[in-house]
């Protein structure tokens, strides 16, 4: 999904290193959203300002190795997570299902009522069970 957010082909004026920075930042953003964290919450977890977290996610500022380790720990992933799929998927286009999954995660985060969140989870479980039964 991160590759959908980043054009990974090198263009004149941009180095391969900048492409990697953007890809890593997009993976950071993707994981943060999946966990339901705001940029402010993410910034606090890793000990930087909101603006700095934003620059990391956009690939504007390069993430130092130690900071990447801290980010990985805060997001519950290995450091390698940020590089997964980078080489083999240069022209990757997310499937409609992948796009819907990210949209679902974004919308779920917007639902602040705990009972409504639980109802959505129950609905998803029920629909999945129905699909499994019909297979």
Whether residue 25 sits in one domain with residue 6: yes
Report the distance separating Cα 111 and Cα 79, nearest Å: 30
Per-residue pLDDT at 10: 46
Give residue 117's domain range: 95-135
pLDDT beyond 70 at 93: no
Predicted local confidence at residue 82, as pLDDT: 94
Q: Do both 77 and 110 map to the same domain?
A: no
pLDDT at 64 over 50: yes
Q: Are 108 and 120 part of one and the same domain?
A: yes
Based on the fold, state whether residues 123 and 109 are members of the same structural domain: yes
The model scores a pTM over 0.85? no
Q: What is the CATH number of the domain that holds 17?
A: 1.10.260.40
- The verdict on 24 and 36 lying in the same domain is yes
* Same domain as 100, residue 48: no
Q: Are 90 and 8 in contact (CB under 8 A)?
A: yes
Number of domains in the chain: 2
Please check whether residues 127 and 82 belong to one and the same domain. no
Phi/psi of residue 129, nearest 5 degrees: -65, -40
1 and 13, same domain (yes or no): yes
Same domain, residue pair 49 and 111? no
């Amino acid at each position: 999904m991160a590759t959908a957010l980043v054009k990974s082909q090198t263009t004149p004026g941009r180095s391969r290193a900048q492409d990697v920075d953007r890809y890593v930042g997009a993976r950071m953003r993707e994981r943060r959203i999946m966990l339901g964290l705001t940029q402010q919450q993410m910034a606090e977890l890793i000990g930087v300002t909101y603006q700095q977290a934003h620059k990391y996610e956009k690939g504007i500022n390069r993430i130092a190795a130690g900071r990447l380790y801290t980010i990985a720990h805060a997001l519950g992933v290995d450091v390698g997570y940020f590089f997964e799929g980078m080489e083999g998927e240069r022209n990757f286009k997310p499937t409609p299902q992948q796009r819907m999954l990210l949209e679902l995660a974004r919308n779920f985060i917007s639902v602040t009522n705990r009972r409504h969140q639980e109802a959505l989870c129950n609905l998803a479980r029920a629909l999945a069970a129905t699909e499994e039964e019909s297979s």
